[in-house]
């Protein structure tokens, strides 16, 4: 059986995303083959495309951190799942495809009746937000938080989950994202025309308990300056490394992107007030605590089923137009998550 996928054979901008038709994979023992319905498009995909993501991706590779699909073939020894069952996964690469073969241990069942486009939004964005709030932050009612890129994919997930906890939330965004931030109960801060450190001081007096910083670079230290005593910056992204979807300033950003937060967290440790900077990585935490990932994703599927959360889908785009999806995300001002429809791509 033939199966389509997107392949990156050289590093670069969105045009390196190429459509390819190959034989569908055959699941090995302990694996299942999934017919993918939806795949998430993320900043991490763009960073991998450019070759600046901390996860190594030897060429050629198929991007795609997360997917939802249906099991269409089981390998030997497969027992946890059945044919036709809807499952979700975070393979880190391989999601931009019509089929993927994956170990059963890496899949989480998706409850009946959920929309695969909404369900896929929960895997990378909402698990990241949930784990930063609950596993690292232990955030509790009434605490103050600052969320950067609050109208983006992870930003809106943090706002939605933070509202369930009862947090007092501030969110940086460009003007076009203000309504979204307000809708979720956040107070928007225009990062383009104001200094967010001054603005937080003005609005709160003594600062915030947590900052969720996906921008990276020098932002991390400025975020640190908004903390009240014993507050914490959780840094998790490298958005500052990209401009208009392409690598900003060459490969030195790779070193800076990784070395800076580590240096800042050391400086923070020796600063007065017990303020801290912690690094979060969904893939590293999953390697360390695989049960947490599965547990947290199931908890989020329950919240979706109970209609306590409703992820924003910016656009649904056919798989073979992945390049357009990357161009859109790279241009900025995308509200919520771009989802690839992998089941729409019959011909090309
Ligand atoms: N560590 C982990 O485990 C993990 C997991 C998932 C994602 N990430 C990282 O998290 C980051 C966010 O990912 P995402 O997919 O959800 O992307 P996103 O939130 O959609 O981020 C893009 C948005 O960031 C906003 N932005 C850009 N520069 C900004 C700035 N200086 N201040 C405030 N907002 C700014 C832009 O919004 P405007 O249009 O308003 O300018 C842009 O639309 C990425 O760096 C990604 O790699 C890390």
Average pLDDT, the chain: 92
For domain 141-280, give the fold: Rossmann fold (3.40.50)
Cα dihedral sign, 25-30-33-38: negative
Task: Give the pLDDT confidence score for residue 348 in this predicted structure.
Answer: 33
Which of the listed residues 43, 51, 248 should we mutate to test ligand 1's pocket, taking the one with most ligand atoms within 8 A of CB? 43
Q: Please tell me the distance between residue 122's alpha carbon and the centre of ligand 1 in angstroms.
A: 16
pLDDT for 134-164, tens place per residue? 999 999 999 999 999 999 889 999 999 999 9
pLDDT for 121-140, tens place per residue? 999 999 999 999 999 999 99
Task: Give the pLDDT confidence score for residue 242 in this predicted structure.
Answer: 61
Question: Does the beta carbon of 173 lie inside 6 Å of ligand 1?
Answer: yes
Given a contact cutoff of 8 angstroms between Cβ atoms, the answer to whether 7 and 291 are in contact is: no
Question: Does the beta carbon of 278 lie inside 6 Å of ligand 1?
Answer: no
Least confident window among 51-60, 122-131, 274-283: 51-60
Given a contact cutoff of 8 angstroms between Cβ atoms, the answer to whether 69 and 97 are in contact is: no
Which of the listed residues 131, 152, 262 should we mutate to test ligand 1's pocket, taking the one with most ligand atoms within 8 A of CB? 152
Q: Is the pLDDT of residue 172 over 80?
A: yes
Question: Does the beta carbon of 46 lie inside 6 Å of ligand 1?
Answer: no
Question: Does the beta carbon of 281 lie inside 6 Å of ligand 1?
Answer: yes
Chain position carrying tokens 């694996």: 31
Label residue 347 by pLDDT band (50, 70, 90).
Answer: very low
Given a contact cutoff of 8 angstroms between Cβ atoms, the answer to whether 213 and 115 are in contact is: no
Question: Does the beta carbon of 152 lie inside 6 Å of ligand 1?
Answer: yes
> What are the domain boundaries of the chain?
2-121+312-341, 141-280
**What is the C-alpha to C-alpha distance for residues 95 and 89, in angstroms, rounded to an integer?**
9
Q: Is the pLDDT of residue 334 over 90?
A: no
Which of the listed residues 123, 133, 154, 297 should we mutate to test ligand 1's pocket, taking the one with most ligand atoms within 8 A of CB? 154
Architecture field, domain 2-121+312-341? Alpha-Beta Complex (3.90)
CA 47 to ligand 1: nearest atom: 47
Q: Please tell me the distance between residue 91's alpha carbon and the centre of ligand 1 in angstroms.
A: 20
Q: Which residue minimizes the CA distance to atom 34 of ligand 1?
A: 149
Q: Which residue minimizes the CA distance to atom 13 of ligand 1?
A: 43
């Amino acid at each position: 059986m033939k199966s389509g996928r997107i392949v990156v054979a050289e590093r670069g901008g969105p045009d390196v995303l190429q459509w390819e038709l190959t034989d569908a994979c055959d699941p090995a023992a302990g694996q299942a083959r999934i017919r993918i319905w939806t795949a998430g498009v993320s900043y991490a995909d763009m960073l991998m495309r450019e070759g600046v993501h901390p996860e190594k991706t030897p060429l050629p590779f198929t991007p795609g951190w997360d997917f939802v699909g249906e099991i269409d073939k089981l390998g030997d020894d497969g027992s946890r799942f059945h044919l036709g069952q809807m499952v979700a996964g975070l393979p880190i690469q391989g999601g931009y495809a019509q089929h993927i073969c994956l170990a059963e241990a890496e899949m989480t069942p998706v409850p009946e009746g959920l929309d695969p486009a909404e369900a896929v939004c929960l895997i990378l964005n909402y698990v990241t937000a949930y784990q930063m709030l609950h596993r690292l932050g232990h955030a509790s009612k009434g605490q103050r938080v600052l969320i950067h890129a609050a109208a983006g994919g992870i930003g809106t997930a943090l706002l939605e989950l933070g509202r369930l906890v009862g947090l007092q939330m501030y969110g940086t965004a460009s003007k076009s994202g203000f309504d979204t931030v307000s809708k979720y109960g956040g107070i928007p801060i225009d990062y383009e025309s104001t200094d967010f450190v001054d603005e937080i001081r003005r609005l709160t007096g003594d600062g915030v308990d947590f900052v969720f910083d996906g921008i990276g670079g020098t932002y991390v230290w400025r975020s640190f300056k908004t903390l009240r005593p014993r507050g914490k910056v959780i840094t998790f992204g490298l958005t500052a490394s990209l401009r208009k979807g392409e690598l900003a300033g060459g490969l030195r950003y790779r070193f800076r992107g990784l070395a800076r937060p580590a240096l800042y967290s050391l400086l923070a440790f020796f600063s007065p007030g017990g303020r801290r900077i912690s690094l979060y990585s969904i893939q590293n935490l999953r390697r360390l605590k695989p049960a947490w990932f599965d547990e947290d994703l199931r908890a989020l599927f329950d919240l979706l089923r109970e209609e306590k959360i409703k992820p924003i889908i910016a656009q649904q785009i056919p798989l073979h137009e992945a390049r357009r999806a990357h161009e859109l995300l790279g241009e900025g001002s995308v509200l919520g998550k771009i989802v690839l429809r992998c089941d729409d791509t019959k011909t090309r």
